[in-house]
Amino acid sequence: MERKSLWAPWRIAYIRTLKKPEGCFLCHSFARPESDDENLLLWRTKKSMVVLNRFPYNNGHLLICPARHIADLDDTTDEEMLELMKLVREAQRALSMTIEPHGFNVGLNFGRCAGAGLPGHMHIHVVPRWDGDTSFMSTCTDTKVVSQSVDDLLAELRAASTAHGLPGL
């Protein structure tokens, strides 16, 4: 059988970030409010932020994290933990209004062995899911298709946030 290639040249940006010891991209994003668009930062509060995943597993994949660079749940204050969970709720509301998923995966990974790509700064993944969101691509080729650009989604989520007063903290 002839081997065929699926070209994904945008992946090189992600691959190159794996080698860079520049520090934490989440801390960098929070420290630069003037670059929220560039950093795909959707919401910021005093203690937390919500960022679109630049390399999503699915359309609408959000990261919710404390503003402080902390690695584990044990390091959060009660106020931070409450705000993070409220942001999960508000993120689900905003995604439901804009891209209408049928469900969500919400989770955390601690340590590289558990899948944490950024083990030093804890973050919560909110990943929208749809009934039957597998297609011939994932069934036959183990490939996922993300059908909307993160820039377009960011604009839609901001519009919904403004229209509906989200996040409601």
For helices 150-164 and 78-98, angle between their N-to-C axes, nearest 10 degrees: 100
Query: Among residues 65, 35, 66, 44, which one has the least CA distance to residue 53?
Result: 65
CA distance 52 to 43: 10
Q: Give SS3 for 158.
A: helix
Asked whether the beta carbons of 121 and 27 are under 8 A apart, the reply is: yes
Instruction: List the catalytic residues.
Output: 123
User: What is the arrangement of strands in the sheet containing 48-52, beginning at the earlier edge strand?
Assistant: 41-44, 48-52, 62-66, 124-129, 103-107
Alpha helices (runs of H) in the chain, residue ranges in sequence order = 11-17, 25-31, 78-98, 136-141, 150-164
